[in-house]
Amino acid sequence: MHSSTPAERGGTHTRSSKFAAVVRVTSGNFLEQFDFFLFGFYATYISRIFFPAGSEFASLMLTFAVFGAGFLMRPLGAIVLGAYIDEVGRRKGLIVTLSIMASGTILIACVPAYQTIGLLAPVLVLIGRLLQGFSAGAELGGVSVYLAELATPGRRGFYTSWQSASQQVAIIVAAALGYLLNRWLTPQEIGAWGWRLPFFVGCAIVPVIFLLRRSLQETAEFEARARPVGARANWRAMLQNWRTVFAGMLLVAMTTTTFYLITVYTPTFGKSVLKLSTADSLIVTVCVGLSNFFWLPVGGALSDRVGRRPILVAIAVLAICTSYPALHWLCAAPSFGRMLAVLLWLSFFFGMYNGAMVAALAEIMPVEVRVAGFSLAFSLATALFGGFTPAVSTWLIEATHDKAAPGYWLSFAALCGLSATLALYRSSGRARASASAA
């Protein structure tokens, strides 16, 4: 009988410990996206309860504006918390971001309705979103950098892809909960109180995520640094590298716009615009989450083999050329089958592009400000593009009377991503060198 050698046992232990570290560090991403998706999916109920206005369109726009306001806090969180994580370490910083995020989640779940406490209700919802946005500004960057520094040589794209993959699990769970509520409760019950139940589920898993985060180990790469920079030096370094941060923001524009279009906005688009059933929209969202979960590691692993640039360029060009035609085909004859086909096509864009993009963004950032620079670029893109995608899409449809108009917004974001990719990989030797060294 063959017995394993010490080297084999050591390799198995290393793989299992790295898998455990991936689960621990991405757990916070699960909570973040779980709550963000719930806010988008239940936007129609939230608009009536917290933002009553003269019309459904006005209430929905107010709700999506508050949803987007949380993203405006992300750049501030990236600067403040990102610098903190670069100074004190990945483990301590990610525990702080989780604490702030959990506070916002609990607040939104427990706020009484407008009819009960008046204007204080929307104000408290806004505060909860601002807290979530401030935390998320550095959460995603901190997790991505942790995974990049944890990765084995030549597999950085594959490792960092699990940052986004964990978010897809959250979308699947949230959509499944919504589907079950839709089966068990009447629309009136969901509108009155049922929509809060998934938010309470998010509150209930906070202690579990805290336990997972507390057991994280600091990355060897951070511990090997001679002397982490302080916050002021971190901010000065980001100013010196503002061109890289700006290009990184444009690089992220494609992925964050696609993501919020096919996940957060999909349920509202399906119900309010295409007039499909709630069940159809939720089933499509679950399928999109599963598709994203599949394509993300594929995109990351493929970029490890062929390079980041070919993946980013190819997917951006496809998105520019096909986003509007695909949505126009869907809107011409709305059906469950067409919606599923179009959203899975856009999901392919997101998974492949994002799988390569996260590793690329980590590689182009100077090591001393890696978390802050990554977080600021991602947060600016999310604030200016992704976070306002539901609001922009709603406005475009209203202004143009074209139900496929969100395709213009996605094509524009893809053009930004393509421009940034060509600029970065033409002018930045660091990006190519880092990618080859990974």
Q: Report the pLDDT value the prediction gives residue 355, as an integer from 0 to 100.
A: 92
Q: Give the pLDDT mean for 49-64.
A: 78
Q: Give the pLDDT mean for 282-292.
A: 87
Confidence of residue 326 (pLDDT cuts 50, 70, 90): very high
- d(Cα 339, Cα 397) in Å, to the nearest integer? 17
Q: Give the pLDDT mean for 390-401.
A: 88
Confidence of residue 7 (pLDDT cuts 50, 70, 90): very low
- d(Cα 241, Cα 130) in Å, to the nearest integer? 27
- d(Cα 204, Cα 198) in Å, to the nearest integer? 10
Reply yes or no on whether the pLDDT at 209 is more than 60: yes
Confidence of residue 254 (pLDDT cuts 50, 70, 90): very high
Q: Report the pLDDT value the prediction gives residue 69, as an integer from 0 to 100.
A: 80
Nearest CA-CA partner of 131 in 107, 163, 160: 107
- d(Cα 28, Cα 17) in Å, to the nearest integer? 18
Reply yes or no on whether the pLDDT at 1 is more than 50: no
Percent of the chain with pLDDT over 90: 24
Confidence of residue 2 (pLDDT cuts 50, 70, 90): very low
- d(Cα 123, Cα 287) in Å, to the nearest integer? 35
Q: Report the pLDDT value the prediction gives residue 8, as an integer from 0 to 100.
A: 40
Q: Report the pLDDT value the prediction gives residue 437, as an integer from 0 to 100.
A: 43
Phi–psi pair at 428, nearest 5 degrees: -105, 100
In sequence order, what DSSP letters do the residues of 226-280 get, joined into one string?
Answer: SS---HHHHHHHHHHTHHHHHHHHHHHHHHHHHHHHHTTSHHHIIIIIS---HHH
Q: What is the pTM of this model?
A: 0.78
Contacts of 15 (CB under 8 A, 6+ apart): none
Reply yes or no on whether the pLDDT at 316 is more than 90: yes
- d(Cα 397, Cα 405) in Å, to the nearest integer? 6
The full 3-state SS of 367-383, as one line of letters, equals HHHHHHHHHHHHHHHHH
Q: What is the pLDDT of residues 152-162, one digit of tens each?
A: 888 888 888 88
CB 301 within 8 A of CB 359: no
How is the chain split into domains, by residue range? 21-212+230-437
Confidence of residue 16 (pLDDT cuts 50, 70, 90): low
Mean pLDDT of the chain: 82
Confidence of residue 50 (pLDDT cuts 50, 70, 90): confident
In terms of pLDDT, which residue wins out, 28 or 253? 253
Confidence of residue 303 (pLDDT cuts 50, 70, 90): very high
Residue 379 amino acid letter: S
CB 142 within 8 A of CB 371: yes
> Which residue, chain included where needed, has tokens 């909860």?
128
Q: What is the pLDDT of residues 66-78, one digit of tens each?
A: 877 887 888 888 8
Q: Report the pLDDT value the prediction gives residue 185, as an integer from 0 to 100.
A: 86
Contacts of 129 (CB under 8 A, 6+ apart): 39, 66, 67, 69, 70, 104, 108
Reply yes or no on whether the pLDDT at 433 is more than 60: no
Element (H, E) at 301: helix 278-306
Residue 4 tokens, joined: 């394993």
- d(Cα 299, Cα 405) in Å, to the nearest integer? 28
Confidence of residue 299 (pLDDT cuts 50, 70, 90): very high
Reply yes or no on whether the pLDDT at 376 is more than 50: yes
The full 3-state SS of 280-299, as one line of letters, equals HHHHHHHHHHHHHHHHHHHH
Reply yes or no on whether the pLDDT at 431 is more than 70: no
Count of beta carbons in the 10 Å neighbourhood of residue 12: 11
- CATH T-level topology, domain 21-212+230-437: Growth Hormone; Chain: A; (1.20.1250)
Q: Give the pLDDT mean for 267-278.
A: 79
Reply yes or no on whether the pLDDT at 405 is more than 80: yes
